[in-house]
């Protein structure tokens, strides 16, 4: 793309953005059908717990301390199908 064309596209895109009525807050992108806009909190998050290291409780869980290594997958991954899973 030549420079003059790029310049015109950029100038017009910015002018258009400036001319639009200001959208409020962080939901500005929500009218765009091609994108989803998630502002979710992490699962289990509350006021005093936001990611690792923010909880200081002691542990009642006991690590088996063994070298035993058996990975039993029991989560929601069974709902993801196709792709290279077919090659198993």
- What is the distance between the alpha carbons of residues 37 and 27, in angstroms, rounded to a whole number? 8
* Contact status: 81 vs another protein (CB under 8 A): yes
How many residues bind to another protein according to rule CB under 8 A? 67
| Contact assessment for residue 26 and residue 39, using Cβ atoms and an 8 Å cutoff | yes
Chosen residue from 46, 47, 48, 58 binding another protein by CB under 8 A: 58
- What is the distance between the alpha carbons of residues 20 and 16, in angstroms, rounded to a whole number? 6
- What is the distance between the alpha carbons of residues 42 and 51, in angstroms, rounded to a whole number? 8
Cβ 48 to another protein shortest distance, Å: 12
**Token duo for residue 53:** 């290291």
Cβ 47 to another protein shortest distance, Å: 12
Residues near another protein (CB under 8 A) are 1, 3, 6-7, 9-18, 20, 22-23, 25-26, 28-29, 31-32, 34-44, 49-55, 58-59, 61-67, 69-77, 79-85, 88
């Amino acid at each position: 793309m030549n420079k003059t064309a790029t310049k015109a596209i950029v100038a017009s895109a910015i002018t258009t953005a400036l001319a639009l009525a200001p959208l409020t807050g962080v939901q500005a992108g929500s009218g765009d059908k091609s994108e989803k806009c998630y502002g979710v909190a992490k699962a289990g998050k509350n006021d005093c717990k936001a990611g690792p290291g923010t909880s200081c409780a002691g542990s009642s869980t006991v690590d088996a301390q063994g070298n035993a290594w058996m990975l039993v997958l029991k989560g929601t991954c069974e709902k993801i199908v196709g792709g290279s899973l077919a090659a198993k």
